[in-house]
Structure 1
């Protein structure tokens, strides 16, 4: 049983560590998608920068969160959970990309699970 728990912890750790790093790096290249399309128009009205610059800042945050998961999984997973939840809330409030918001909430639950697994004493 312990080996299964360790396998799940490791799988989640690398998933929630590497995916934010990859997505964050892609904010600089837009190879996967044009990330600026996800910035709600209302937010663009209040931030003092172009959407592409804003997304680069987001990319730096995501890269940092991914590294934190790899180095300190319990804390990093909670940061990623909060980050994904915040993205989902912004998307739902904007009325756009609700499908992405739902996916991000499901991913946030996985990140929460990782944090809880790392909070367990030896099983």
Structure 2
């Protein structure tokens, strides 16, 4: 006995829905950005990542700040993948991760602007999670899989 899973694209009216378009933008951004930034924890091309680690956290974690950034990179890569395959849960995972980053940044002088930016990203990640609930049900009704 063979089972066939039918997957089709969302209908044109769903694709033209501004809410669905916002959902897709957020899903792509929160899938790609964590993976890119996670990979950069290993290369350091975009930033000097250990300088973003609060000294009190560096004292808590084993190893060097750079080694901590390797662990951070792995978590970020996993979070991006989770957003890609399960955006409702992945959005909340990224939001929780960003909350931790914000706490870290608020304890480092001169990083308040970065913490504020990350608060905006946290709001976007929560919005993604909420939109994923809405558009998953639309896609189920129409017979497509997200």
TM-score over 0.5 (shorter chain): yes
TM-score normalised by L of structure 2: 0.79
Structure-to-structure mapping, 1:24-103, within 5 angstroms: 24-103=38-117
Alignment partners' CA distance in 2, 1:96 and 1:63: 27
Q: Within the alignment, does 1:106 sit opposite 2:120 as a pair?
A: yes
Higher helix share: 1
Offset from partner CA, 1:32-88 (integer Å, 9 cap, x none): 011000011122222220111100000000000000000001100010011111100
Greater displacement, 89-98 / 30-39 = 89-98
Deviation for aligned residue 1:16: 0.5
Larger CA Rg, structure 1 vs 2: 2
Paired residue secondary structure (2:46): coil
Unpaired runs of at least 5, structure 1: none
Paired residue secondary structure (2:107): helix
Give the root-mean-square deviation of aligned CA atoms: 1.5
Alignment partners' CA distance in 1, 2:67 and 2:83: 25
TM-score normalised by L of structure 1: 0.93
